[in-house]
Amino acid sequence: MTTSLFSLPNEVILSALAAQFPCRGQQIISLYTLVTTRGALSRNIVLHGLTATGKSAITKAILEKISTPALQDDIANPHPIEPTDQLRYAMIKSAECITGRHLLEQTIGAVAKAIGWEGNVGRCENVATLVVVVGKMMECWTESGDESVSRRLVLVFDAIDRQRDVPTTMLPALARMAETIPNLSSVYIVTAPRPNFLHRPGVPHIQFPSYTKAELLQIVSSLEPTPRLLTGSEDTKNVWTRFCPAVYDSLSKHSGRDILSFRHVCMSLWPRFIQPILDGTHYPTPFSRLLVANRSLFQNDGVLTPSIISPKTFNVKPQTQFKLPALASQLPFHTRLLLLASYLASFNPARTDITHFMKSALAKRRKKGGGTALTKSNAGTSKNRKISRKLLGPQAFVLERMLAIFMCLRDDAGGRKGNLKARRAALEDVNGSADVHTAIATLASLRLLVRMGVSNSADALDGGSRYKVAVGWEVVRVIGRSVGIEMEDYLAD
Amino acid sequence: MSEHGESHIGFDSSDHQTAYIYGASGGGRDETVTERSTKRRKLRKTPKSKPVVNSGSIKFQGLLNGFENDDSALLRQYLFYKCWSQTDAQIQSILNDANEDALAEVTTFVNEVNSVEDGDRLPTSFIVSGPNIASQDLLFKQLSDRLGRDVDGSIVVLRSGDTTNLKAVLKHIIRTATQAGSEEEAFSTQRDGRKLLNYDLEILRAHVKNHGGESVVIAFQDSEAFDTQLLVDLIALFHSWRDRIPFVLLFGVATSVELFQERLPKAASRCLHGIQVDVEQSSAIIERIFKAVITSSREHLMLGPALLSTLLERQQDHVQSVQSFIAAIKYTYMCHFYGNSLSVMSDSIVTISENQFVLQQCQFEAIRTLSSFRTLVEDSLSSQRPERARNLLQNDDALGEEVAAALRARDSYILRLLRAVYVFESTNQEQDVSTLEVYITMAEGRMHSSNYLKRLLGSLRGMNPSDISIIIAKAIYCMKHGGHEGISANWAEDDDKFWEELQDIKSKVDTLSADAKEADAPIRSGDAIHSRGLRTTVIAQRVQLSYEQSTLTDAEKEFTALTERLSDILREYFTLGRPQELFLHEAWLCDSTESLRVFTPRPRAAIEDNLAEPQEYLISASGGKPGPSVSPATSMLYQRYLEAGSLINLADLWSSFLENSVGDEADEKAEREALMQFYGALADLKLLGMIKQSKKKADHVSKVLWKGL
């Protein structure tokens, strides 16, 4: 049997793939050439690019086309490559591998499955074992058929750079494996490779760049939107192709430009966009008029953050809203106060506590801002501290300081029923009570307070343990009003 | 140790020792470890068999200095078990019902979710349960029971406490999900003989494939407490496996779905898609439990207004937890029956007159010490009946009759109260009135001046005849048919005057409105028009102010009078005396808030108080009186500690302590003694968490606790 070492790529396959993945022709040809046995075969190939650029999908599609399945005769697969060549592939998803060892086990399992290994597969503890076992399997497989057939196995490591719990030597070792075992190629799919991360020169890299605007529009415009217009698919197509650029320019341009989010935004806006046409108030033809009628859709960027609640339940929301009030009124009174105190402790610098919370300075405290004298005295530091503390994020505080602030707030808080005397008595009870600590623990387990320093093995309610508040200004202001406290009065700057 | 054994038999005295004392001759502890462990194991068994032996015997102690006989103690014990088991059964059924809607919703979601295939995202249900974490436990238990019954598949409930890292979570999931199936398969080997790691989801896939379950439900009970990174990893992993294993996720959310979503990175939240399910809030459940409690136990005891308002306040201020409410009520029951020897009389079946149960001599004496007895005697004296007072004081039989009468009066009082609350509830138009608060107000005897009644009567004034008629019909309906559990039907005979008045007013109002309909002149209440304010008319460039009232027709005047009458009888009906005014109320009224203090410990305040004022707690060795002379070293050091700043120099602390304890001229021995005390005291403070080694300066300690927080 005389076969040349090199043959041109199969145009039928290529054109089919190009139709399936528009705007990726270059990458398809490169990868195709690099993995086929009669192309420019390479032992290690790196594919890189951002998410949603088609790396995994294209790799899988190409390998599926050119591989010869284990139990499939050539008649079923009309023109693959030359029937004498056998190419199989195995894909290992790092997202499904919990540990490095799991990755190795998965690899062995995938290899055994791909080449139809029937013997016993042992455990695989490290890369050395992997090399030996895979080598043995490959050897058996290559020798099983007749000599002239060239056999090849392609291993695809998908998102190998995201693999959890893996030693740094793993990747170079895998790359080395492809070199020591004959007839084995490895494809590594990564997001952004470090230079020479395989410790091996001359590894071909194929870049999958993000789609440009023209490409995005071309791909998304070719989709079929649902629901269709009643007037026919021609109209639907026309409106859709003009609708997509509008969405891109107004919403997607400045946010996620990847194709998935763009497609999602288009698809979710489409039914609302054509609602006026379906209602009969507008016609598809003057597109600009339709656009103006729907301009609120393009101004609201809420669609960019996909909700985890399906829109179906939004319709019944009004009833549930009544049943379930906001978080502010669900928490018990003292828990709310504790949350407020935590917020103040996180966002006020400790040195202004005296101006804000000293009992004697009640009148002074009301003045917003407080320490003007302090900031004047050291003008040098005020220059550096121009950023508002609200923007700097919460700082860690010591539990004891928060409790002190809590005691102050407690005296000022109103809005509770009951006469003054009973209130006094109830407030006295809080002093040093275990309930307060229960409330703190509850807040911490609701993650409204975040405990700092995991290594700090002391008790969670130890006076010295440090916490940070995890709710924002808006929530806190509402909660403050529910207990009769205006939070602005207590905040420094 | 507490998990094996209800009694303390398993303990020995050395268990609470802070340090292990080694006895060379084998004293103190057993010689060998092996021997000890076998002995322990034997002891563990014994408590289990004990209750069987003890079941007939008395666990309650005889009261009144032991004068109370066994029968009485046994009766109290019996009453407690009877009362509480009734109440508890009702509470449990309420708790089971409460989550019913949410459970049904989740079940349908899980069942339907796989038919509506949205392959891209994980179907998720967010169960918003409110910030009461304690109730999540029950909810998820019910949920896993329900799903196990109604859903084809396996359910795994994850708690934040028992899952630390990804590997452990996966192991747990796989173990639980696969063992839920019938046969014990060797789950670590696949069919082709390949061994899998025990955290490989491949095992689960094979299991699902073999058993053909429709879904694998993973429930995160307290999703907030989970490490966010762990959640993200799990979501990504499940999402990746979604095409092979039909995962359905349930998240118990205590705060809100928005906060939950904020916490997750976008990559993870993009994988989730589902519905929000709201669980009934604890305040509503508490209301229902309260109703069950007051009606189920009304034959035995009554929960007083002060007690209930304390409970309610605690719910609002500190914990919103159904479980703690139930615990407090149970504790009140226990206290009542265990500590009150007169609680035997609270059983209305066993009355004195029927001679089924005879009060002991000592119990009569106990009754005579009650303050309500004193009031009774004083009353009979002031009403010029000295013989009756003498009889009551001297003759047990006379007192017995009085007791029987008092018990009957109690029954009618409680019944009257419950009915009044019920009638109020049914006639009330406003939405957000808590029955519990109405009950408290009525039992405190403050109803006639309360805002509730004012608002109710105020709303009556503005009504037209048909509304009034509806309200009366409602009141009549509940009198005829009885209320929720426990209030029997047909109490019209008991309150015949009220009943007749209502009927009368209703028939008159109906006639009026029928007449008005014929005449086509709508009847308005005089108050309703009055409340609209003045009418201004401009006649010949003059403004005239006039009241509408003058234009009332006769029918309207009559209607206004009827409304007034209705207001009066309602006010009268809703006005009740306080239960404390009744004789023998001590025997059935639980109104002591002191007993609830056990649920609100103040450990820190207690410790600080002890350290600050030790002489109030210690009795000095000389004489029996509290002596201010020498306070313990720890307390002395605590005083110094309070005076110091946030960083304390140990040398300064020591010199101050030394001066205070031995004075200026100290010999070496005294100084060494003081040093020893100082070290001991310092160790105590450290143990209490008051000081900590400072990182800033080597010879300083930092002050951790401030006083009075």
Does A432 contact B195 at a Cβ distance shorter than 8 Å?
no
Whether the CB of A95 is below 8 Å from some CB of chain B: the reply is: yes
Contacts of A313 in chain B (CB under 8 A): 275-276
Residue of A nearest to B261 (CA): A308
Question: Is residue A79 pLDDT above 50, yes or no?
Answer: no
pLDDT at position B680 is 92
Residue in A with minimal Cα distance to B133: A442
pLDDT of the residue at A379:
47
- Helix, strand counts (H, E) of chain B: 26, 12
Name residue B248's amino acid: V
| CA–CA dist A290, B498 (Å, integer) | 69
Among chain B residues, the shortest Cα distance to A440 is held by B318
The answer to whether residue A459 neighbours chain B at the CB level (below 8 Å) is yes
CA B627 – CA B620 distance, rounded (Å): 5
Please give, rounded to a whole number of angstroms, the shortest distance from the CA of B703 to a CA of chain A.
Answer: 9
Q: Which helix (H) or strand (E) holds B68?
A: none
**Can you read off the two tokens belonging to residue A328?**
């502010």
Answer for the pair A115, A142: CB distance below 8 angstroms, yes or no.
Answer: no
Among the partner residues B195, B237, B269, nearest to A95 by beta-carbon distance: B237
- Which pLDDT band, with edges at 50, 70 and 90, does A371 fall under? very low
CA of A334 to nearest chain B CA: how many angstroms apart?
A: 5
CB contact (8 A) between residue A105 and residue B708: no
User: Using the beta-carbon criterion (under 8 Å), do A438 and B604 form an inter-chain contact?
Assistant: no
- Range from A328-332, B46-50, B561-565 that averages highest in pLDDT: B561-565
- A98 contacts in chain B (CB < 8 Å): 166-167, 170, 199-200, 237
A295 by DSSP, 3-state: which? Answer: helix
Chain segment B324-376, per-residue pLDDT in tens: 888 888 888 888 888 887 777 765 544 444 444 566 777 778 888 888 888 88
Give the whole-angstrom CA distance, residue B383 versus residue A87: 113
Contact A207, A49 (CB under 8 A): yes
- The string of pLDDT tens digits covering residues B597-612 is 788 788 888 888 888 8
- Residue A149 or residue B261, greater confidence: B261
Give residue B55's pLDDT band: very low, low, confident or very high (50, 70, 90). Answer: very low
Contact A121 B608 (CB under 8 A): no
Residues of B in contact with A121 (CB under 8 A): 192-195
Least confident window among A296-305, A476-485, B650-659: A296-305
Q: What does the alpha-carbon distance between residue B341 and residue B364 come to, in Å, rounded to a whole number?
A: 11
Pick from A66-70, B51-55, B172-176 the range whose average pLDDT is largest.
B172-176
Instruction: Assess contact for B173 and B156: CB atoms under 8 A.
Output: yes
Mean pLDDT value across chain B: 76
Name every chain B residue with its beta carbon within 8 A of the beta carbon of A99. Answer: 167
Nearest-by-CA chain A residue for B313: A426
Are B80 and B337 within 8 A, CB to CB? yes
pLDDT over 70 at B550, yes or no: no
A433 to B600: CB separation less than 8 angstroms, yes or no: yes
Q: Which residue has the higher pLDDT, A264 or B360?
A: A264
Superfamily of chain region A11-208: P-loop containing nucleotide triphosphate hydrolases (3.40.50.300)
Residue B459 and residue B442: Cα distance in Å, rounded?
A: 20
The angle that helices A100-114 and A127-144 make with each other, rounded to 10 degrees, is 0
Q: Which residue has the tokens 């990755």?
A: A103
What residue type is assigned to position A27 of the chain?
Q
**Residue closest to A106 by CA, chosen among A119, A92, A117, A116:** A92
Q: What is the pLDDT of residues A21-61, one digit of tens each?
A: 888 888 998 998 888 877 788 889 999 998 888 899 999 99
Tell me the shortest Cα–Cα distance from B606 to chain A, in angstroms.
8
Which of A93, A106, A308, A466 best tests the B interface by mutation, with the highest count of B CBs <10 A?
Answer: A308
Cβ neighbours, 10 Å, residue A100: 16
What average pLDDT does range A339-367 have in this prediction? 75
The pTM score is 0.75
Question: CA dist B129 to B102, B140, B276, B284, B689, Å?
Answer: 10, 10, 11, 13, 35
Check CB contact under 8 Å for B255 and A446: yes
Give the gap in angstroms from C-alpha B629 to the nearest C-alpha of chain A: 28
Could you tell me the pLDDT band of residue A327, with boundaries at 50, 70 and 90?
Answer: low
Of the partner residues A327, A433, A439, the one whose CB lies closest to the CB of residue B256: A327
Q: Quick one: pLDDT at residue A156? A: 92
Q: What is the mean pLDDT of residues A312-324?
A: 39
Is the pLDDT assigned to residue A469 strictly greater than 60?
Answer: yes
| Chain segment B623-666, per-residue pLDDT in tens | 555 555 567 888 888 988 888 888 888 898 888 888 887 776 76
pLDDT-derived band of residue A490, with 50, 70 and 90 as boundaries?
Answer: confident
The structure tokens 């539990």 sit at A399
Summarize pLDDT for B77-86 with one digit per residue, the tens: 888 888 888 8
Distances (CA, A) of A246 to A239, A255, A291, B153: 11, 14, 8, 46
Residue A188 confidence (pLDDT): 92
Write the pLDDT tens digit of every residue in B148-164.
888 878 888 888 877 77
Chain B partners within 8 Å of A442 (Cβ):
131, 133
Answer whether B608 sits within 8 Å of A330, measured CB to CB.
no
Tokens of A122: 């042992």
The pLDDT of residue A315: 38
- Choose from B106, B122, B604 for mutation: most chain A CBs within 10 A: B604
Written as one string, the DSSP assignment of B247-279 is: EEEEEEESS-HHHHHHHS-HHHHTTEEEEEEEP
Preceding omega of A227 cis (within 30 degrees of 0): yes
Determine the pLDDT at residue A48.
92
Q: Which of B202, B602, B694 to probe by mutation at the A interface, max A CB count within 10 Å? A: B602
* Structure token pair of residue B528: 């309703």
Distance from CA of A90 to the nearest CA of B (A): 16
Q: Say if strands B647-649 and B535-539 run parallel, antiparallel, or are unpaired.
A: unpaired
Distance of residue A396 Cα from the nearest chain B Cα, in angstroms: 16
DSSP label at residue A49: E
Tokens found for residue B593 = 């808030």
Give every CB contact of residue A4 below 8 A, 6+ residues apart in sequence: A38
What would the pLDDT profile of A398-455 be if each residue is shown by its tens digit? 888 888 888 888 877 765 445 555 555 655 667 777 888 888 888 888 888 888 876 5
What is the gyration radius of the CA atoms in chain B, in angstroms?
35
Nearest to B275 among A101, A123, A309 (CB): A309
Q: Looking at the predicted structure, is the pLDDT value of residue A196 above 80?
A: yes
CA distances from B681 to B120, B633, B641, B657 (A): 64, 6, 11, 10
DSSP secondary structure, B376-424, as one string:
HHHHHHHTT-HHHHHHHHH-HHHHHHHHHHHHHHHHHHHHHHHHHHHHH
Mutate to test the interface with B, among A447, A466, A469 (most CBs of B within 10 A): A447
Q: Where in chain A is the domain with CATH 3.40.50.300?
A: 11-208
Over residues B308-321, the mean pLDDT reads 80
Cβ–Cβ below 8 Å for A323 and B236: no
Q: Enter the tokens of residue B114.
A: 């796989």
Q: Smallest Cβ distance to A309: which of B224, B274, B313?
A: B274
CA distances for B615 relative to A355, B179, B633, B668, angstroms: 37, 62, 13, 29
Q: Which residues pair with B439 in a beta bridge?
A: none
- Average pLDDT of the residues of chain A: 78
CA dist., res. B512 & res. B506, Å (int): 10
Mean pLDDT of B526-540: 61
Amino acid A187: pLDDT: 92
pLDDT of residue B146: 87
Q: How many helices (H) and strands (E) does chain A have?
A: 24, 8
| Partner-chain contact A121 B259, CB within 8 Å | no
- Displacement of CA B591 from its chain's centroid (Å): 16
The residue of chain B nearest to residue A316, with distances taken between CA atoms, is: B276
**What is residue B44's predicted lDDT score, i.e. its pLDDT?**
40
Chain A (280-309) residues lying within 8 Å, Cβ to Cβ, of chain B: 305-309
Q: Contact B496/B529 with Cβ under 8 angstroms?
A: no
Judge whether A448 is closer than 8 Å to chain B, CB to CB.
yes
B603 burial type by CB count under 10 A (0-12 exposed, 13-18 middle, 19+ buried): exposed
| Mean predicted confidence (pLDDT) in B224-252 | 87
* Residue B40 pLDDT greater than 50, yes or no: no
CA atoms within 13 A on the CB side of B20: 4
- Over 80: is that where the pLDDT of A132 sits? yes
Question: Which residue among B275, B280, B692 places its CB closest to the CB of A310?
Answer: B275
pLDDT band at A74 (very low <50, low <70, confident <90, very high): very low
Q: Inform me whether the pLDDT recorded for A119 exceeds 70.
A: yes
Q: Check: CB of residue A254 under 8 Å from CB of residue A212.
A: no
- Full set of structural domains in chain B with CATH: 1-57 (no CATH), 100-279 (3.40.50.300), 337-587 (no CATH), 603-703 (1.10.10)
Query: How many A×B Cβ pairs under 8 Å?
Result: 168
CA distances for B359 relative to A308, B121, B347, angstroms: 68, 72, 13
C-alpha torsion angle, residues B228, B230, B236, B237 (rounded to 10)? -170
pLDDT band of residue B552 (cuts 50, 70, 90) is: low
Query: Does A262 score more than 70 pLDDT?
Result: yes
Q: What is the mean pLDDT of residues B394-419?
A: 80
